[in-house]
Amino acid sequence: MTAKTIAKSILGSADTTHTSRIKIILAFAAVYLIWGSTYLAIKYAMDTIPPFMMAACRFLLAGGVLYAGLIISGVKRPQLKHWYSAAIVGFLLLTLGNGGVVIAERNLSTGMVSLLVAIAPVFIVILEHLHQGRRMPNKETLSGIALGTLGIVFLVGPSNLMGASGSNWIGIAAAMVSSLAWSIGTIYSRSAAKPSSMLMATSMQMICGGVAMAVGSIVMGEHTQFDVSRVSYASVAAILYLVTFGSLLAFSAYVYLLQHVSAARVSTHSYVNPIVAVFLGWALLGEAITPQTMMSACVIMAAVWFIAKGTAKIKSAS
């Protein structure tokens, strides 16, 4: 199975224009690679900034800058119904989705969290079929789900994932809620009312999600624990990275992909992000890449191919 074959399966039918194919490839690269690194950035940012406060600053800053830039450039202001949809999507994807991640990372390692939220493709495939009234996923999609899950378990190790040692069930529950909320938001966003500008929709979702996170931060009393004099340069740099790359670039790419390929295909980033996290651990922290890691990577990439192939068959048959 070559990289060209995988790319062709992810991109879909051959009638896609050359420009669109390039855009989709770049968008997948952003979602696959950048989001794989954000788990590490979130950990650095939370070292000296409370989690929900950090996340609220991230999305309010990114969404506010993007929204202001679009308005100044002459993009039409969104309607009230667009703000309603953005509030729902922002709450599901960011407040619950990303919020669950930051809570989980307070109790678990970044690698463990990235592996736990990788269950998203399973949720998305099931929810899509229930929502659209279709029969159960075909054998390719089911094979992809099974392989992806197997690869994740093999990568982290069954004893570390399920054993009592080192496991924090609050963190695990938060990661699962995050994954489910992200899956529901992903499916809902495809049919929700949106302005004509994809970037405008993205900025609105980040603003709404950021506002909800700010409210959550206040309710949890994070402002009483925050000391601006103790904020480290590493935390500031991490937030800037999350704003520019994790939010403005990668989240925009994610929203773009949802409008051009199936949600199940987009969700394959959940299987690739853990590989990126493992690589960063090796490159930046000196962690060894074992034969077990390499084997897991092969299994996970095979899962990506199977899910892409399965959803492509469903699309062509509908």
- How does pLDDT run across 75-93, given as a tens digit for each residue? 999 999 999 999 999 999 9
Question: Would you place residue 9 in the very low, low, confident or very high pLDDT band (cuts 50, 70, 90)?
Answer: very low
Q: Percentage of residues in the chain with pLDDT exceeding 70?
A: 84
Residue 259: enclosing H or E segment and its boundaries? none
Question: Would you place residue 158 in the very low, low, confident or very high pLDDT band (cuts 50, 70, 90)?
Answer: low
- How does pLDDT run across 198-249, given as a tens digit for each residue? 889 999 999 999 999 999 999 999 989 899 999 999 999 999 999 999 988 9
For the segment 168-177, the average pLDDT, to the nearest whole number, is: 84
Answer whether 277's CB lies under 8 Å from 284's CB: no
Q: What's the CA gap between 102 and 57, in Å, rounded?
A: 13
Neighbours of 267 (CB within 10 A): 30
Residue 157 resides in a domain: yes
Answer whether 104's CB lies under 8 Å from 113's CB: yes
Tell me which of 286 and 163 has the higher pLDDT: 286
Residue 12 resides in a domain: no
Residue 238 resides in a domain: yes
Extract the tokens encoding 242.
């999350």
Residue 4 resides in a domain: no
Residue 7 resides in a domain: no
Question: Would you place residue 288 in the very low, low, confident or very high pLDDT band (cuts 50, 70, 90)?
Answer: low
| Nearest of 61, 8, 4, 10 to residue 303 by alpha carbon | 10
Question: Would you place residue 13 in the very low, low, confident or very high pLDDT band (cuts 50, 70, 90)?
Answer: very low
Q: Percentage of residues in the chain with pLDDT exceeding 90?
A: 39
Q: How much is the pLDDT for 129?
A: 75
For the segment 257-265, the average pLDDT, to the nearest whole number, is: 80
Print burial letters for 103-114: b (CB count within 10 Å at least 16), e (below 16).
Answer: bbbebbbbbbbb
Tell me which of 40 and 14 has the higher pLDDT: 40
Q: Which amino acid is at 72?
A: I
For the segment 268-285, the average pLDDT, to the nearest whole number, is: 79
Residue 6 resides in a domain: no
Tell me which of 105 and 73 has the higher pLDDT: 73
Print burial letters for 222-242: b (CB count within 10 Å at least 16), e (below 16).
Answer: beeeeeeeebeeebeebbebb
Q: How much is the pLDDT for 31?
A: 92
Number of domains in the chain: 1
Answer whether 93's CB lies under 8 Å from 181's CB: yes
Q: What's the CA gap between 83 and 79, in Å, rounded?
A: 7
Residue 154 resides in a domain: yes
Close Cβ partners of 312 (under 8 Å, ≥ 6 residues apart): 9, 12, 13
Q: How much is the pLDDT for 157?
A: 66
Per-residue DSSP letters for 66-122? HHHHHHHTTPPPPPHHHHHHHHHHHIIIIIIIIHHHHHHHTTS-HHHHHHHGGGHHH
Q: Taking the model in full, what pTM does it have? A: 0.80
As to burial, measured by CB atoms within 10 angstroms (0-12 exposed, 13-18 middle, 19+ buried), residue 99 is: buried
Continuous H helices in the chain: 3-11, 18-29, 35-45, 51-72, 80-90, 99-105, 110-116, 120-132, 139-156, 158-162, 169-191, 198-219, 233-241, 250-258, 263-266, 269-285, 291-317
135 is in which domain, residue-wise? 17-317
